Amino acid sequence: MPGFTLEPEQLTWCGELRTLARERLVPLAEKGEPGQLNRPLVAELGGLGLLERLFTSGALDLCLMRESLAHGCTEAETALALQGLGASPVARAGTEEQRARWLPGVREGRTVAGFALSERAAGSDAAALTLRAEPVAGDRSDAGGWRLSGEKCWISNAPYADFYTVFARTTQGAGARGITAFLVPADRPGLTGSALDMLSPHPLGSLAFDGVHVTRADVIGAPDRGFRVAMDTLNLFRPSVGAFAVGMAQAALDATLEHTSARTAFGGPLKDLQSVAHQVAEMATRTEAARLLVYAAASAYDRNEPQVPRSSAMAKLFATETAQFVVDAAVQLHGARALQRGHLLEHLYREVRAPRIYEGATEVQRTIIAKELYAR
Q: Which of 77, 134, 359, 363 is catalytic?
A: 359
Residue 23 DSSP code: I
Q: Which helix (H) or strand (E) holds 128?
A: none
Task: Give the Cα separation of 43 and 79 in Å (integer).
Answer: 10
φ, ψ for residue 130, nearest 5 deg = -125, 0
Peptide bond between residue 159 and the one before it cis (omega within 30 degrees of 0): yes
* Catalytic (active site) residue 359: yes
Contact of 289 with 314, CB cutoff 8 Å: no
Task: Give the Cα separation of 326 and 310 in Å (integer).
Answer: 24
Q: What length is written for the chain?
A: 376
Contact of 186 with 211, CB cutoff 8 Å: no
Task: Give the Cα separation of 364 and 105 in Å (integer).
Answer: 34
**Considering only CA atoms, which of 122, 115, 207, 201 is closest in space to residue 166?**
115
CB 184: neighbour CB atoms within 10 A? 24
CB 22: neighbour CB atoms within 10 A? 13
* Active site residue ranges: 359
